[in-house]
Protein backbone atom coordinates (compact mmCIF):
# COMPACT_ATOMS: atom_id res chain seq x y z
CA UNK A 1 0.00 0.00 0.00
CA UNK A 2 1.50 3.32 -1.06
CA UNK A 3 1.00 6.34 1.16
CA UNK A 4 -1.17 8.96 -0.51
CA UNK A 5 0.71 12.17 -1.30
CA UNK A 6 -1.59 14.27 0.85
CA UNK A 7 -0.78 12.04 3.85
CA UNK A 8 2.94 11.71 3.17
CA UNK A 9 3.90 13.64 6.32
CA UNK A 10 1.07 12.21 8.41
CA UNK A 11 1.49 8.43 8.40
CA UNK A 12 3.80 5.51 7.77
CA UNK A 13 3.45 2.79 5.16
CA UNK A 14 2.51 0.07 7.69
CA UNK A 15 -0.19 2.28 9.24
CA UNK A 16 -1.44 3.47 5.86
CA UNK A 17 -1.82 -0.20 5.01
CA UNK A 18 -3.78 -0.89 8.22
CA UNK A 19 -6.29 1.82 7.29
CA UNK A 20 -6.38 0.99 3.59
CA UNK A 21 -9.60 -0.04 1.86
CA UNK A 22 -8.32 -3.60 1.50
CA UNK A 23 -7.51 -3.87 5.21
CA UNK A 24 -10.86 -2.41 6.31
CA UNK A 25 -12.73 -4.72 3.97
CA UNK A 26 -10.80 -7.69 5.35
CA UNK A 27 -11.69 -6.73 8.92
CA UNK A 28 -15.39 -6.36 8.13
CA UNK A 29 -15.53 -9.63 6.23
CA UNK A 30 -13.63 -11.41 9.02
CA UNK A 31 -16.39 -10.34 11.41
CA UNK A 32 -19.10 -11.69 9.13
CA UNK A 33 -17.29 -15.00 8.65
CA UNK A 34 -16.69 -15.40 12.39
CA UNK A 35 -20.34 -14.60 13.12
CA UNK A 36 -21.54 -17.19 10.62
CA UNK A 37 -19.17 -19.87 11.92
CA UNK A 38 -20.22 -19.19 15.52
CA UNK A 39 -23.89 -19.50 14.61
CA UNK A 40 -23.23 -22.68 12.64
CA UNK A 41 -21.27 -24.12 15.56
CA UNK A 42 -24.34 -23.53 17.76
CA UNK A 43 -26.66 -24.91 15.04
CA UNK A 44 -28.43 -21.58 14.60
CA UNK A 45 -27.62 -21.64 10.88
CA UNK A 46 -26.53 -24.60 8.70
CA UNK A 47 -22.83 -25.40 8.38
CA UNK A 48 -23.28 -25.17 4.61
CA UNK A 49 -24.38 -21.54 5.00
CA UNK A 50 -21.30 -20.66 7.06
CA UNK A 51 -19.09 -22.27 4.42
CA UNK A 52 -20.82 -20.34 1.64
CA UNK A 53 -20.37 -17.06 3.54
CA UNK A 54 -16.67 -17.78 4.11
CA UNK A 55 -16.16 -18.54 0.41
CA UNK A 56 -17.90 -15.30 -0.55
CA UNK A 57 -15.75 -13.20 1.80
CA UNK A 58 -12.82 -12.54 -0.52
CA UNK A 59 -11.71 -8.90 -0.39
CA UNK A 60 -10.71 -8.85 -4.06
CA UNK A 61 -14.32 -9.50 -5.05
CA UNK A 62 -15.57 -6.22 -3.59
CA UNK A 63 -15.46 -2.73 -5.10
CA UNK A 64 -14.25 -0.47 -2.30
CA UNK A 65 -14.98 2.72 -4.25
CA UNK A 66 -18.57 1.63 -4.88
CA UNK A 67 -18.99 0.67 -1.22
CA UNK A 68 -17.66 4.09 -0.19
CA UNK A 69 -20.22 5.86 -2.36
CA UNK A 70 -23.01 3.70 -0.97
CA UNK A 71 -21.78 4.26 2.60
CA UNK A 72 -22.26 7.99 2.16
CA UNK A 73 -25.93 7.35 1.45
CA UNK A 74 -26.41 4.59 4.01
CA UNK A 75 -24.61 6.33 6.89
CA UNK A 76 -22.62 3.21 7.75
CA UNK A 77 -20.30 0.89 5.80
CA UNK A 78 -22.12 -2.10 7.25
CA UNK A 79 -25.26 -1.74 5.17
CA UNK A 80 -23.70 -1.79 1.67
CA UNK A 81 -21.09 -4.38 2.71
CA UNK A 82 -23.71 -6.81 4.05
CA UNK A 83 -25.87 -6.23 0.98
CA UNK A 84 -22.91 -7.01 -1.31
CA UNK A 85 -21.95 -10.08 0.73
CA UNK A 86 -25.50 -11.41 0.74
CA UNK A 87 -25.68 -10.96 -3.03
CA UNK A 88 -22.48 -12.97 -3.56
CA UNK A 89 -23.65 -15.72 -1.20
CA UNK A 90 -27.00 -15.90 -2.98
CA UNK A 91 -25.27 -16.49 -6.30
CA UNK A 92 -23.80 -19.68 -4.87
CA UNK A 93 -26.45 -20.77 -2.38
CA UNK A 94 -29.81 -18.99 -2.32
CA UNK A 95 -30.81 -20.56 0.99
CA UNK A 96 -27.59 -19.45 2.71
CA UNK A 97 -28.15 -15.78 1.88
CA UNK A 98 -30.66 -15.41 4.71
CA UNK A 99 -27.98 -16.47 7.20
CA UNK A 100 -25.68 -13.52 6.40
CA UNK A 101 -25.32 -11.05 9.31
CA UNK A 102 -27.97 -12.87 11.33
CA UNK A 103 -28.68 -11.18 14.67
CA UNK A 104 -26.08 -8.44 14.21
CA UNK A 105 -26.45 -4.76 13.41
CA UNK A 106 -24.38 -2.55 11.13
CA UNK A 107 -22.59 -0.92 14.07
CA UNK A 108 -21.50 -4.32 15.34
CA UNK A 109 -19.76 -4.81 12.02
CA UNK A 110 -18.16 -1.36 11.93
CA UNK A 111 -17.04 -1.29 15.56
CA UNK A 112 -15.56 -4.78 15.52
CA UNK A 113 -13.76 -3.99 12.27
CA UNK A 114 -12.26 -0.90 13.92
CA UNK A 115 -11.14 -2.97 16.90
CA UNK A 116 -9.50 -5.49 14.56
CA UNK A 117 -7.60 -2.63 12.93
CA UNK A 118 -6.48 -1.44 16.37
CA UNK A 119 -5.22 -4.94 17.06
CA UNK A 120 -2.87 -4.61 14.09
CA UNK A 121 -1.89 -1.13 15.23
CA UNK A 122 -0.97 -2.44 18.70
CA UNK A 123 1.56 -4.84 17.15
CA UNK A 124 3.10 -2.09 14.99
CA UNK A 125 3.32 0.33 17.91
CA UNK A 126 4.88 -2.31 20.15
CA UNK A 127 7.70 -2.93 17.67
CA UNK A 128 8.32 0.79 17.09
CA UNK A 129 8.27 1.57 20.81
CA UNK A 130 10.80 -1.18 21.46
CA UNK A 131 13.00 0.31 18.77
CA UNK A 132 12.75 3.79 20.30
CA UNK A 133 13.34 2.57 23.85
CA UNK A 134 16.44 0.63 22.84
CA UNK A 135 17.85 3.62 20.98
CA UNK A 136 17.23 5.96 23.91
CA UNK A 137 18.70 3.47 26.37
CA UNK A 138 21.87 3.34 24.28
CA UNK A 139 21.96 7.15 24.11
CA UNK A 140 21.64 7.37 27.89
CA UNK A 141 24.41 4.85 28.49
CA UNK A 142 26.78 6.53 26.05
CA UNK A 143 26.24 10.07 27.30
CA UNK A 144 25.52 9.72 31.00
CA UNK A 145 28.68 11.78 31.68
CA UNK A 146 28.48 14.12 28.67
CA UNK A 147 28.08 17.52 30.31
CA UNK A 148 25.96 20.18 28.66
CA UNK A 149 24.40 23.51 29.50
CA UNK A 150 21.06 23.44 31.25
CA UNK A 151 18.45 25.78 29.82
CA UNK A 152 15.44 27.17 31.63
CA UNK A 153 13.03 29.59 29.93
CA UNK A 154 15.46 29.31 26.98
CA UNK A 155 18.22 30.92 29.07
CA UNK A 156 21.42 29.35 30.39
CA UNK A 157 21.17 27.49 33.70
CA UNK A 158 23.34 25.10 35.74
CA UNK A 159 24.75 22.12 33.83
CA UNK A 160 23.34 18.64 33.44
CA UNK A 161 24.28 15.71 31.23
CA UNK A 162 22.88 14.68 27.89
CA UNK A 163 22.36 11.28 29.49
CA UNK A 164 19.93 12.83 31.98
CA UNK A 165 18.06 14.68 29.25
CA UNK A 166 17.76 11.48 27.19
CA UNK A 167 16.74 9.53 30.29
CA UNK A 168 13.91 12.03 30.73
CA UNK A 169 12.76 11.30 27.18
CA UNK A 170 13.06 7.58 27.87
CA UNK A 171 11.05 7.73 31.09
CA UNK A 172 8.26 9.64 29.40
CA UNK A 173 8.14 7.21 26.48
CA UNK A 174 8.02 4.23 28.83
CA UNK A 175 5.17 5.72 30.82
CA UNK A 176 3.36 6.47 27.59
CA UNK A 177 3.90 2.92 26.40
CA UNK A 178 2.44 1.46 29.60
CA UNK A 179 -0.53 3.82 29.38
CA UNK A 180 -1.17 2.90 25.75
CA UNK A 181 -0.77 -0.83 26.39
CA UNK A 182 -3.35 -0.73 29.17
CA UNK A 183 -5.78 1.27 27.04
CA UNK A 184 -5.35 -1.06 24.07
CA UNK A 185 -5.87 -4.17 26.18
CA UNK A 186 -9.22 -2.79 27.37
CA UNK A 187 -10.27 -1.64 23.90
CA UNK A 188 -9.66 -4.89 22.03
CA UNK A 189 -13.15 -6.22 22.75
CA UNK A 190 -15.84 -7.58 20.48
CA UNK A 191 -18.89 -5.52 19.60
CA UNK A 192 -22.02 -7.63 19.11
CA UNK A 193 -25.31 -6.33 20.41
CA UNK A 194 -27.85 -6.42 17.64
CA UNK A 195 -30.46 -3.74 17.14
CA UNK A 196 -30.75 -2.42 20.72
CA UNK A 197 -27.86 -4.10 22.48
CA UNK A 198 -29.83 -7.14 23.69
CA UNK A 199 -29.14 -9.66 20.89
CA UNK A 200 -32.86 -10.45 21.05
CA UNK A 201 -32.78 -11.82 17.49
CA UNK A 202 -30.61 -14.68 18.77
CA UNK A 203 -32.97 -15.55 21.60
CA UNK A 204 -31.12 -16.99 24.57
CA UNK A 205 -28.02 -17.87 22.53
CA UNK A 206 -26.65 -14.35 22.18
CA UNK A 207 -23.87 -14.63 24.73
CA UNK A 208 -22.78 -18.02 23.39
CA UNK A 209 -22.57 -16.60 19.88
CA UNK A 210 -20.65 -13.57 21.09
CA UNK A 211 -18.15 -15.64 23.03
CA UNK A 212 -17.52 -17.84 20.01
CA UNK A 213 -17.06 -14.86 17.67
CA UNK A 214 -14.62 -13.27 20.14
CA UNK A 215 -12.59 -16.48 20.35
CA UNK A 216 -12.33 -16.74 16.58
CA UNK A 217 -11.22 -13.13 16.22
CA UNK A 218 -8.90 -13.37 19.25
CA UNK A 219 -10.73 -10.54 21.01
CA UNK A 220 -12.06 -10.21 24.54
CA UNK A 221 -15.78 -10.72 25.03
CA UNK A 222 -17.09 -7.77 27.08
CA UNK A 223 -19.68 -7.80 29.84
CA UNK A 224 -22.19 -6.26 27.45
CA UNK A 225 -22.37 -4.50 24.08
CA UNK A 226 -20.97 -0.94 24.12
CA UNK A 227 -22.62 0.82 21.18
CA UNK A 228 -22.87 4.22 22.87
CA UNK A 229 -20.19 3.71 25.51
CA UNK A 230 -16.99 4.91 23.85
CA UNK A 231 -14.77 5.21 26.92
CA UNK A 232 -12.46 2.36 25.92
CA UNK A 233 -11.72 3.93 22.55
CA UNK A 234 -11.39 7.34 24.21
CA UNK A 235 -8.71 5.95 26.52
CA UNK A 236 -6.72 4.76 23.48
CA UNK A 237 -7.03 8.16 21.82
CA UNK A 238 -5.98 9.97 25.00
CA UNK A 239 -3.03 7.61 25.49
CA UNK A 240 -1.93 8.28 21.91
CA UNK A 241 -2.27 12.01 22.51
CA UNK A 242 -0.09 11.90 25.62
CA UNK A 243 2.52 9.72 23.91
CA UNK A 244 2.62 12.03 20.90
CA UNK A 245 3.06 14.99 23.24
CA UNK A 246 6.03 13.25 24.86
CA UNK A 247 7.54 12.60 21.44
CA UNK A 248 6.91 16.23 20.55
CA UNK A 249 8.81 17.36 23.66
CA UNK A 250 11.76 15.25 22.56
CA UNK A 251 11.53 16.70 19.05
CA UNK A 252 11.39 20.25 20.41
CA UNK A 253 14.52 19.71 22.47
CA UNK A 254 16.43 18.20 19.56
CA UNK A 255 15.37 20.87 17.08
CA UNK A 256 16.49 23.61 19.46
CA UNK A 257 19.82 21.87 20.08
CA UNK A 258 20.25 21.65 16.29
CA UNK A 259 20.08 25.41 15.77
CA UNK A 260 23.28 26.56 14.08
CA UNK A 261 24.08 28.89 16.95
CA UNK A 262 23.83 25.94 19.37
CA UNK A 263 24.88 22.98 17.16
CA UNK A 264 25.15 20.44 19.95
CA UNK A 265 23.30 17.59 18.23
CA UNK A 266 22.12 16.74 14.73
CA UNK A 267 19.55 14.37 13.30
CA UNK A 268 20.77 11.70 10.89
CA UNK A 269 20.98 13.29 7.46
CA UNK A 270 21.69 10.46 5.04
CA UNK A 271 19.82 9.99 1.73
CA UNK A 272 19.22 13.70 1.38
CA UNK A 273 17.11 13.95 4.54
CA UNK A 274 17.05 17.43 5.99
CA UNK A 275 18.32 19.26 2.93
CA UNK A 276 17.03 22.53 1.50
CA UNK A 277 15.76 23.27 -2.01
CA UNK A 278 17.71 26.55 -2.05
CA UNK A 279 20.37 26.46 0.70
CA UNK A 280 22.93 23.67 0.20
CA UNK A 281 24.50 24.16 3.64
CA UNK A 282 21.35 23.39 5.60
CA UNK A 283 20.66 20.27 7.64
CA UNK A 284 17.10 20.70 8.77
CA UNK A 285 15.49 18.82 11.70
CA UNK A 286 12.97 17.04 9.47
CA UNK A 287 12.13 14.16 11.83
CA UNK A 288 11.53 16.69 14.59
CA UNK A 289 9.40 18.79 12.25
CA UNK A 290 7.23 15.79 11.34
CA UNK A 291 6.88 14.86 15.00
CA UNK A 292 6.00 18.40 16.05
CA UNK A 293 3.43 18.57 13.25
CA UNK A 294 1.84 15.40 14.60
CA UNK A 295 1.92 16.74 18.15
CA UNK A 296 0.14 19.89 16.99
CA UNK A 297 -2.63 17.94 15.22
CA UNK A 298 -3.40 15.26 17.78
CA UNK A 299 -4.74 17.39 20.67
CA UNK A 300 -7.47 18.87 18.48
CA UNK A 301 -8.39 15.45 17.14
CA UNK A 302 -8.48 14.10 20.69
CA UNK A 303 -10.81 16.88 21.75
CA UNK A 304 -13.01 16.05 18.77
CA UNK A 305 -13.19 12.40 19.81
CA UNK A 306 -14.03 13.27 23.40
CA UNK A 307 -16.86 15.49 22.20
CA UNK A 308 -18.14 12.54 20.14
CA UNK A 309 -18.53 10.40 23.28
CA UNK A 310 -21.86 11.99 24.21
CA UNK A 311 -24.10 9.62 22.27
CA UNK A 312 -27.82 9.11 22.53
CA UNK A 313 -29.55 6.16 24.18
CA UNK A 314 -28.67 2.74 22.67
CA UNK A 315 -27.37 3.92 19.26
CA UNK A 316 -26.03 7.40 18.60
CA UNK A 317 -26.45 9.84 15.74
CA UNK A 318 -23.46 11.77 14.45
CA UNK A 319 -20.91 11.00 17.16
CA UNK A 320 -20.28 7.41 16.16
CA UNK A 321 -20.25 8.31 12.45
CA UNK A 322 -17.47 10.84 13.16
CA UNK A 323 -15.10 8.38 14.79
CA UNK A 324 -13.42 6.38 12.04
CA UNK A 325 -11.53 9.25 10.40
CA UNK A 326 -10.69 10.73 13.81
CA UNK A 327 -9.26 7.46 15.12
CA UNK A 328 -7.35 6.82 11.90
CA UNK A 329 -5.80 10.30 11.97
CA UNK A 330 -4.75 10.09 15.63
CA UNK A 331 -3.25 6.62 15.25
CA UNK A 332 -1.30 7.53 12.13
CA UNK A 333 -0.05 10.81 13.60
CA UNK A 334 1.19 8.96 16.67
CA UNK A 335 2.82 6.33 14.49
CA UNK A 336 4.70 8.75 12.24
CA UNK A 337 5.96 10.66 15.28
CA UNK A 338 7.09 7.41 16.89
CA UNK A 339 9.02 6.22 13.84
CA UNK A 340 10.55 9.67 13.31
CA UNK A 341 11.90 9.85 16.86
CA UNK A 342 13.13 6.25 16.74
CA UNK A 343 15.15 7.04 13.62
CA UNK A 344 16.47 10.20 15.25
CA UNK A 345 17.50 8.50 18.48
CA UNK A 346 19.28 5.74 16.57
CA UNK A 347 21.31 8.14 14.45
CA UNK A 348 21.67 11.24 16.62
CA UNK A 349 25.05 12.94 16.22
CA UNK A 350 26.33 14.47 19.45
CA UNK A 351 29.06 17.13 19.58
CA UNK A 352 30.37 16.90 23.15
CA UNK A 353 33.08 19.48 22.49
CA UNK A 354 30.47 21.97 21.31
CA UNK A 355 28.45 21.31 24.47
CA UNK A 356 31.50 22.10 26.57
CA UNK A 357 32.19 25.18 24.45
CA UNK A 358 28.64 26.48 24.91
CA UNK A 359 29.09 26.09 28.66
CA UNK A 360 32.21 28.25 28.44
CA UNK A 361 30.46 30.91 26.38
CA UNK A 362 28.26 31.72 29.38
CA UNK A 363 31.40 33.00 31.18
CA UNK A 364 30.56 30.88 34.18
CA UNK A 365 27.19 32.50 34.81
CA UNK A 366 25.60 29.05 34.78
CA UNK A 367 27.35 28.52 38.13
CA UNK A 368 25.86 31.61 39.76
CA UNK A 369 23.62 29.42 41.90
CA UNK A 370 26.64 27.44 43.10
CA UNK A 371 28.55 30.64 43.97
CA UNK A 372 25.59 32.01 45.91
CA UNK A 373 25.26 28.75 47.84
CA UNK A 374 28.96 28.86 48.78
CA UNK A 375 28.66 32.44 50.03
CA UNK A 376 25.31 32.09 51.83
CA UNK A 377 26.69 30.51 55.04
CA UNK A 378 29.19 33.37 55.30
CA UNK A 379 27.16 36.50 54.48
CA UNK A 380 23.56 35.32 54.43
CA UNK A 381 21.41 34.04 51.61
CA UNK A 382 19.89 37.35 50.50
CA UNK A 383 23.20 39.21 50.56
CA UNK A 384 24.88 36.40 48.61
CA UNK A 385 22.12 36.42 46.01
CA UNK A 386 22.40 40.18 45.52
CA UNK A 387 26.19 40.05 45.28
CA UNK A 388 26.19 37.32 42.64
CA UNK A 389 23.36 39.04 40.76
CA UNK A 390 25.53 42.17 40.44
CA UNK A 391 28.58 40.11 39.53
CA UNK A 392 26.84 38.38 36.64
CA UNK A 393 25.81 41.64 35.01
CA UNK A 394 27.48 41.61 31.56
CA UNK A 395 28.79 45.13 32.21
CA UNK A 396 30.61 43.83 35.25
CA UNK A 397 31.99 40.70 33.62
CA UNK A 398 33.54 42.51 30.62
CA UNK A 399 35.00 39.38 29.09
CA UNK A 400 35.94 37.70 32.35
CA UNK A 401 34.42 34.57 33.80
CA UNK A 402 32.42 34.66 37.00
CA UNK A 403 35.20 33.01 39.00
CA UNK A 404 37.77 35.51 37.69
CA UNK A 405 35.57 38.42 38.64
CA UNK A 406 34.86 37.04 42.10
CA UNK A 407 38.59 36.48 42.64
CA UNK A 408 39.07 40.23 42.18
CA UNK A 409 36.48 41.11 44.85
CA UNK A 410 38.03 41.41 48.34
CA UNK A 411 34.68 40.85 50.10
CA UNK A 412 34.45 37.50 48.30
CA UNK A 413 38.09 36.42 48.59
CA UNK A 414 37.91 36.50 52.37
CA UNK A 415 35.19 33.85 52.27
CA UNK A 416 36.05 31.81 49.16
CA UNK A 417 39.61 30.57 48.87
CA UNK A 418 41.63 29.85 45.72
CA UNK A 419 40.56 26.22 45.61
CA UNK A 420 36.84 27.01 45.79
CA UNK A 421 37.15 29.63 43.06
CA UNK A 422 39.30 27.34 40.91
CA UNK A 423 36.60 24.66 40.93
CA UNK A 424 33.60 27.00 40.81
CA UNK A 425 33.07 26.46 37.08
CA UNK A 426 33.81 22.74 37.05
CA UNK A 427 30.56 21.26 35.60
CA UNK A 428 31.30 17.73 36.80
CA UNK A 429 31.39 19.11 40.33
CA UNK A 430 27.84 20.49 40.14
CA UNK A 431 25.65 17.70 38.80
CA UNK A 432 23.92 16.86 42.05
CA UNK A 433 21.82 13.69 41.78
CA UNK A 434 21.95 13.48 37.98
CA UNK A 435 23.51 10.02 37.96
CA UNK A 436 20.92 8.70 40.42
CA UNK A 437 18.06 10.14 38.37
CA UNK A 438 19.52 8.50 35.26
CA UNK A 439 19.70 5.18 37.08
CA UNK A 440 16.09 5.47 38.22
CA UNK A 441 14.73 6.53 34.83
CA UNK A 442 16.71 3.86 33.01
CA UNK A 443 15.33 1.18 35.31
CA UNK A 444 11.71 2.34 35.18
CA UNK A 445 10.72 -0.38 32.68
CA UNK A 446 11.24 -3.07 35.32
CA UNK A 447 9.38 -1.05 37.91
CA UNK A 448 6.42 -0.43 35.62
CA UNK A 449 6.10 -4.17 34.98
CA UNK A 450 5.95 -4.68 38.75
CA UNK A 451 3.29 -2.02 39.09
CA UNK A 452 5.68 0.70 40.34
CA UNK A 453 5.57 4.40 39.51
Catalytic residues: 276, 315
In 159-269, which ranges are continuous DSSP H helix? 162-187, 206-217, 231-257
CA distance 312 to 150: 52
- Label residues 1-27 b or e (16+ Cβ within 10 Å = b): eebeeebeebbbebbbbbbbeebbbbb
CA distance 328 to 243: 16
Element (DSSP H or E) covering residue 159: strand 155-161
Give phi and psi for 95, each to the nearest 5. -70, -35
Angle at 100 between CA 95 and CA 106, to 5 degrees: 155
**Residue 399 burial by Cβ neighbours in a 10 Å radius (0-12, 13-18, 19+):** exposed
CA distance 395 to 444: 46
Listed as own residue / partner, the contacts of 263-267 with beta carbons closer than 8 Å and 24 or more positions apart are 263/351, 263/354, 264/148, 264/350, 264/351, 264/354, 264/355, 264/358, 265/162, 265/348, 265/349, 265/350, 265/351, 266/348, 266/349, 266/351, 267/344, 267/347, 267/348, 267/349
CA distance 262 to 154: 12
Give the 3-state secondary structure of residue 152. strand
CA distance 213 to 35: 6
> In this structure, are residues 352 and 135 in contact, taking their beta carbons and an 8 Å threshold?
no
CA distance 328 to 325: 5
CA distance 11 to 329: 8
CA distance 392 to 367: 10
Amino acid sequence: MSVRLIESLATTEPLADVFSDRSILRAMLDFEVALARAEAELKIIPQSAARAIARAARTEDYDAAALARQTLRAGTPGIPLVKALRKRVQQEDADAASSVHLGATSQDLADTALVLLLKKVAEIFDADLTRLENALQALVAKHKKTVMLGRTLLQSAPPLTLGLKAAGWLGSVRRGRARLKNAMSEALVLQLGGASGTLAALGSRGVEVGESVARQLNLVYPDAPWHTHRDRLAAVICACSILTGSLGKMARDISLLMQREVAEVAEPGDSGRGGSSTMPQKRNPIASAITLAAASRVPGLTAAFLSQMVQEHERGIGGWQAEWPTVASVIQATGVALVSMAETAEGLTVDAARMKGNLNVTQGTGFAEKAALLLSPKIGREAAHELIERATDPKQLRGRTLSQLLAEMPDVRQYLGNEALAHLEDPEDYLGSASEFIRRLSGSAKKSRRGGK
